[in-house]
Chains A and B, each alone.
Chain A
Amino acid sequence: MQISKTSPKENTLLVGFPSNGLVGTFTISYLVHYLEMKLIGEIEHPDLPPTLFVEDGEILPPIRIYKKNNLFVVLSDLPFDPFVAYDFAESILDYCKKNQIKKIIIISGMETINRNPKPPKIFGLVTHQSLEKLLYDYGVPKFLSGSIFGTDAAMITAFRKSKIPALILYAECHPFFPDPEASIVAITTLARVLEIKVDTNDIQKRIEWLRIQHRNLMEETIRSLQQQQQEKKPGKAPQIYR
């Protein structure tokens, strides 16, 4: 995986990619839009399907790097298969080392099938003890037990072995449908952790439209997640032994 441009030395990197409820994609996209962050680079991988987006005549790659002051963002509009997920995680780690990123924050969704109509909760998981205090200071309950797979797991695996700490914010969400409501909780929590003000009115007004617009991306993401889950399983044992 190749990063085409680098950016100046700074400290915090936010990462969002399609996962449960598309929480990471909605959250990071909204922040990039709201903070009017500048596109500074892109990530390429030969195994990704050749995809480009055209917006007002401008060609946009599917995995983009943005920057504003001390804040960096890596945002993917493509879900990853298991092999690309590991490469993606390694390339993010490499990017962090080259740009002296002090910590990274990953936003993702936590599968909660029977989510009741109450506002979704958010939980935090840290790879290094140095970030434990951050959870306490900003009132983010700790993710205590559960299993993680897919790109989230690849990212956590890469960073927990490195010197760069990662905070993963998991918002409760519907696993099979786009869940912009869960991303609003993630945006609010992220704003608190970053100590910035973010008005969520714009995304709140568009919740229902976003759910319709992102049906295809949700469908592709579920396929990738299922593929990653299959990949994780060891060779099939006879039914009796499982």
Chain B
Amino acid sequence: MVTNKNEFKIRIFPPTISSLLNDDIDHQILSPLSCLREFETNWLLEFDLPLVNKKDIKITFDENMISVEAKLKETYAEEKLGVTTKFEYFKKTLFLPGKINSKKASAKFTKGRLIITIPKMISGQKIKIE
């Protein structure tokens, strides 16, 4: 068996100017990856939150805005151009394109992935079929 004492590394791809990830270096906040999927009756919002314990996640709603904050279980450090930057938190706020029923929202956290299910608010006027 071959052994290699060096640490396994993959080169970190430089983000483009239009990157959606806005890490806040001053406040040690990382922007997590997320994805939003629309179903007929609900929205499914998923956040990738590695290095996080379930008890340290806070989810808040404000109308159709959802915010997720989480404290990392250990400091995450990144070195670029000889400068080490440390991060302690994940934080991201997203706007959902439509009315939501936040009171009936539910969340599940497995293997560092947070899945939030948010029912849609269905309202409107019925049209009679003649």
A and B associate in one complex: yes
A: residues with CB less than 8 A from B are 25-26, 29-30, 33-36, 51, 53, 55, 60, 62, 77-78, 113, 117, 174, 176-178, 181, 197, 199, 202-203, 206-220
Contacts of B12 in A (CB 8 A): 213-214, 216-217
Contacts A117-B110, A197-B1, A219-B19; A207 near B50 (Cβ below 8 A):
yes
Contacts A55-B11, A211-B112, A218-B33; A36 near B4 (Cβ below 8 A):
yes
Contacts of B9 in A (CB 8 A): 29, 33, 55
In the complex the two chains form, what is the Cα distance from A181 to B111 in whole Å?
A: 10
Mask: chain B, 1-23; 1 = CB below 8 Å from A; 0 = not: 11110111111111110011100
Greatest chain A CB density within 10 A among B33, B51, B76 is at B33
Main SS class of interface, B: loop
In the complex the two chains form, what is the Cα distance from A146 to B26 in whole Å?
A: 45
* Cβ A77 vs Cβ B1 within 8 A: no
In the complex the two chains form, what is the Cα distance from A216 to B33 in whole Å?
A: 9
Q: Is B88 an interface residue (CB 8 A)?
A: no
Contacts A36-B4, A212-B51, A219-B19; A177 near B113 (Cβ below 8 A):
yes
* Cβ A60 vs Cβ B48 within 8 A: no
* Cβ A215 vs Cβ B111 within 8 A: no
Contacts of A35 in B (CB 8 A): 2
* Cβ B15 vs Cβ A213 within 8 A: no
State the 6 A-B residue pairs at the shortest beta-carbon distance, nearest first: A208-B50, A217-B13, A211-B50, A177-B48, A53-B11, A216-B15
Q: How many residues of B contact A (CB 8 A)?
A: 34
Q: Is B118 an interface residue (CB 8 A)?
A: no
In the complex the two chains form, what is the Cα distance from A39 to B119 in whole Å?
A: 52
B: residues with CB less than 8 A from A are 1-4, 6-16, 19-21, 30-33, 35, 37, 46, 48, 50-51, 76, 78, 110-113
* Cβ A212 vs Cβ B19 within 8 A: no
Contacts of A174 in B (CB 8 A): 48, 113
Residue of A whose beta carbon sits closest to that of B47: A177
* Cβ B13 vs Cβ A220 within 8 A: yes
Contacts of B111 in A (CB 8 A): 117, 181
* Cβ B8 vs Cβ A203 within 8 A: yes
Residue of A whose beta carbon sits closest to that of B1: A197
Tell me the minimal C-beta distance from A208 to chain B in angstroms. Answer: 4
Tell me the minimal C-beta distance from B80 to chain A in angstroms. Answer: 11
In the complex the two chains form, what is the Cα distance from A53 to B51 in whole Å?
A: 27
Contacts of A26 in B (CB 8 A): 10
Tell me the minimal C-beta distance from A128 to chain B in angstroms. Answer: 30
* Cβ A77 vs Cβ B50 within 8 A: no
In the complex the two chains form, what is the Cα distance from A206 to B110 in whole Å?
A: 18
In the complex the two chains form, what is the Cα distance from A34 to B112 in whole Å?
A: 26
* Cβ A212 vs Cβ B20 within 8 A: no
